[in-house]
Amino acid sequence: MNIFECIRNRRSIRKYTEQPIEFDKLTKIIEAGTFAPSAGNMQNWRFVLVTDKNVIKNVHEHCLHQEVVYNAQALIVVCGLTEKAERLYGLRGKRLYTIQNCACAIQNMLLEAHALGLGTCWVGAFNEDKINSIFNIPENARPQAIITIGYPNEKPKHDRKDLSSVVYFNNYGLKIKDLHLLLRDYSVEWKKQAKTLEESSEKGFKKIAGLIKRWLHNNLKTRKFFDRKL
Ligand SMILES: Cc1cc2nc3c(=O)[nH]c(=O)nc-3n(C[C@H](O)[C@H](O)[C@H](O)COP(=O)(O)O)c2cc1C
């Protein structure tokens, strides 16, 4: 699987089989997280790996009872350390960079899991205080997300906006016509041309059918005229 295939085919998986996950796969996923970029290479993330079913059920209680958590075979609680980030970069480091660093690590982990045949879901809706107390997370760390993991038991479809509706050129809001041509995505052009051809041949067929109908009609009228004369 190449990188684009992996990115493109990953989906949030919320239903998992009962199959346990190999431990080396879990460690590989976390390792992928640690290779993410981070501001000033701070690597100010920490990961709590959870495989205990009782703990998973307890966490589920504090994630709006989302089934995705209950069904998971493992969880990774991703925490961001804010102290160093604030010391180095002020409020921007504390609020923005720590979140971004963790988000990069999370995406790396989702992709690695997908490449290993596992399904994941990024869960952001949880009661932070309860999660802090379940895992004894200290004051200087903040749980950013919980990643649920398991072997997939569903195959969700793609649901993405067109590039042309999310890309601007040189200025926010500036769109260009036929963006696909600039991006060398000729599939859109082929589809457009095939549609025009289909429509014009449909029009052509309709025109010929009309001519034949008219000819038959006139022919019938002539025959009736001569029949009457004879
Ligand atoms: C910050 C963030 C928070 C999310 N929180 C939840 C969540 O609490 N529960 C859930 O089922 N999915 C959650 N998701 C997953 C999104 O719903 C999902 O990524 C989105 O619908 C796109 O689908 P895809 O991941 O299949 O491409 C979250 C995703 C992000 C990035």
Q: What is the mean pLDDT of residues 5-22?
A: 97
Residue 69 has pLDDT above 90, yes or no: yes
Q: Are residues 58 and 122 in the same domain?
A: yes
pLDDT of residue 12: 98
Strand 74-81 vs strand 141-150: parallel, antiparallel, or unpaired? antiparallel
14 contacts 74 by C-beta, under 8 angstroms: no
Q: Which residues line ligand 1 (CB under 6 A)?
A: 11-12, 14, 66, 68, 121-125, 156
Length of the chain: 230
Q: Are residues 138 and 184 in the same domain?
A: no
pLDDT of residue 140: 92
Q: Classify residue 91: in a domain, yes or no.
A: yes
Q: Classify residue 43: in a domain, yes or no.
A: yes
Q: Are residues 127 and 229 in the same domain?
A: no
Residue 52 Cα, ligand 1 centroid: separation in angstroms? Answer: 23
Residue 57 Cα, ligand 1 centroid: separation in angstroms? Answer: 20
Which of 107, 129, 150 is the last residue before a domain boundary?
150
Q: Are residues 133 and 30 in the same domain?
A: yes
Spatial separation of the C-alpha atoms in residues 108 and 7, rounded to whole Å: 10
* Token digits of residue 52: 């205990």
pLDDT of residue 207: 87
- Looking at the chain, the whole-number percentage of residues with pLDDT higher than 90 is 68
User: Of residues 206 and 149, which shows the higher confidence score?
Assistant: 149
Spatial separation of the C-alpha atoms in residues 103 and 52, rounded to whole Å: 25
Pocket test for ligand 1, best of 121, 155, 159 (most atoms within 8 A of CB): 121
- pLDDT band of 53, cuts 50, 70, 90: very high
User: Of residues 145 and 219, which shows the higher confidence score?
Assistant: 145
Mean pLDDT check: name the lowest of 44-58, 149-163, 207-221.
207-221
Q: Classify residue 155: in a domain, yes or no.
A: no
Residue 177 has pLDDT above 90, yes or no: no
Q: Classify residue 156: in a domain, yes or no.
A: no
78 contacts 103 by C-beta, under 8 angstroms: no
Spatial separation of the C-alpha atoms in residues 31 and 25, rounded to whole Å: 10
Pocket test for ligand 1, best of 7, 8, 12, 67 (most atoms within 8 A of CB): 12
Q: Are residues 16 and 114 in the same domain?
A: yes
Q: Classify residue 139: in a domain, yes or no.
A: yes
pLDDT 10s digits, 142-159: 999 999 999 999 999 988
Give how many domains the chain has, as a whole number.
2
pLDDT of residue 126: 98
Average pLDDT for the chain: 92
Q: Are residues 36 and 74 in the same domain?
A: yes
The helix or strand, by DSSP H or E, that contains position 119, with its residue range, turns out to be: strand 119-123
Place of tokens 């997370």: 137
Q: Are residues 141 and 31 in the same domain?
A: yes
Q: Are residues 72 and 127 in the same domain?
A: yes
Pocket test for ligand 1, best of 64, 102, 122 (most atoms within 8 A of CB): 122
DSSP assignment of 122-179: EE--S-HHHHHHHHT--TTEEEEEEEEEE-B---PPP----HHHH--SSSTT---TTH
CATH number of the domain at 117, please.
Answer: 3.40.109.10
Q: Are residues 32 and 140 in the same domain?
A: yes
Highest mean pLDDT among 147-156, 185-194, 212-221: 147-156
Residue span of the structural domain in which 138 resides: 3-150
Q: What is the mean pLDDT of residues 158-168?
A: 88
Q: What is the mean pLDDT of residues 48-58?
A: 97
